[in-house]
Amino acid sequence: MDATRGMRRVFRRLAARDARRQAREEADPAAPAPSEPLTQAPAAPTSARAAPADSRPPGGPTSPPARPRQPQPRRPLGGAARPAAHPTHPRRGGRSAGAVFDDLVTARRRQAEGRQAGARAQKPAGVVTAGAGRSGRERAVAPAAVKTPGLEAAFTPESLGRAWLHIKANGGGPGVDGVSLDDFTAHAEAELAALRRDVLGGVYRATPIRTVWVPKRSGEGQRPLAKWTIRDRVAQRALVEYLEPTFEKRFLDCSFGFRPGRGVQDATARILTLRDQGLRWVVDADIKKCFEHIDPGLLQQRLRSELDDPGLLWLLEGWIQVRIMNALAGQRPTAGTSQGGPISPLLANIYLHPLDVKLTQAKLNLVRYADDLVVLCPRRQDAEAALAQVEDGLRELRLELNPKKTRLVSFDEGFQFLGVFFIGNKHHYLGF
């Protein structure tokens, strides 16, 4: 870098010297350059009267007469005078120092572009390693063919219209861009058209988010909530509607949270059925800060194994890696699956699906609702073994149980799950 700056200074000085020489030549074409030695005095005009011998300047007849100083162009304010075009010089084949410098810069830029193209050719499609000064994680870039079948199917004008109506019905405040629901409504048609054009054109980028802390429904502490812009929420909702049918075919019956046609009442009915079958010991567990602790790298690997559309992967990875503007010290600086975005529940279910598979293949009676789960067993020792398998399955996902909210309990003692209190052969909906 220092060598390049030194070369630039040298070329600027050469260009300035050439400009001064050209200005002098234009002002007095007959005058020789000051660096060329004079061998004889110029001939005097015939109309001029010869000067007396004693009035000649010292130095003899070979001394040149004094040449009047030509006025120099005034230097503009703010810097040195600069010629409008590169002056030419015969010693450089008619090319100026500035032109030589421009060629050097162009050549170096082409070399750098060639190195970058070679590095990109060695990376898998859809991702590129972040540059120096970053953590070395991979960030999403637009695929070579942006208009992939998945993106075109997910972002039709009709699907974006449905997604916008869903976001509008759910309400919520603006993101960091300050655009409210009313602002978006006033220009909804143009906003949706621009969003579709940006996504299919590969220029869409999610806006950085802020997190706010809201009280938990249980009243115990607070949880972070991501504030996405309305534009990003609409895009996420459109992709959720497109991906849900695909993943619903893969998800298992033991999962009830954030799935269409399933809810708390369905999970409650499943628990009651298992209880009536004689499974009266329960592993009552809670995954510790599940949404915040989901590993982005493992999630992206999971998505790549499930989806073969580079456009969809580009979009999903962009949301996972978007920056949190007010991240606390020690907190992950990227969004991941932070709660608050329409895409987060689906991503959480995709991430936890291997846990469902592992436990059901082990013949365990699992009921999971997002990050809350219970495993029903006939005896206490069976529940102890089931708890160890749950911990092992979460360890593979780099997650862990919350020890304060995890215990082995029987229906005779009673326990609470999803706002429902189970005790004996009865259950009560709390808050109703």
* Spatial CB neighbours of 375, under 8 Å, sequence gap ≥ 6: 282, 283, 285, 359, 364, 365, 366, 367, 383, 386, 387, 390
pLDDT band at 4 (very low <50, low <70, confident <90, very high): low
Q: What's the chain's Rg over C-alpha atoms?
A: 38
Q: How far apart are CA 314 and CA 377, in angstroms?
A: 43
Instruction: State yes or no: pLDDT of 247 exceeds 50.
Output: yes
367 contacts: CB under 8 Å, gap ≥ 6? 254, 256, 267, 270, 271, 274, 373, 374, 375, 376
Read off the pLDDT band of 331 (50, 70, 90). low
Which of 14-28, 185-199, 216-230, 360-374 shows the lowest mean pLDDT across its residues? 14-28
Q: Residue 113 is which amino acid?
A: E
pLDDT interval class at 382 (50, 70, 90): very high
Ranking 2-6, 187-191, 298-302 by mean pLDDT, the lowest is: 2-6
The confidence band for 16, taking pLDDT boundaries of 50, 70 and 90, is confident
Predicted TM-score (pTM) of the model is: 0.66
Range 308-326 average pLDDT: 88
Amino acid (one-letter) located at 351: Y
Beta-bridge mates of residue 284? 374, 407
* pLDDT score at 432: 47
Exposure b/e, 92-105, CB count within 10 A at least 16 = b: eeebbbbbbbeeee
Average pLDDT over residues 232-247: 96
| 209 DSSP assignment | B
Are 89 and 279 a contacting pair, CB within 8 Å? no
3-state SS track over 340-355? CCCCHHHHHHHHHHHH
- Cα–Cα–Cα angle for 78, 79, 83, rounded to 5 degrees: 125
Query: Which residue, 413, 408, 360, is CA-closest to 384?
Result: 408
The separation between CA 271 and the C-alpha centre of its own chain, rounded to angstroms, equals 42
φ/ψ of residue 2, rounded to 5: -65, -40
d(CA 386, CA 365): 9
pLDDT 10s digits, 222-237: 677 778 899 999 999 9
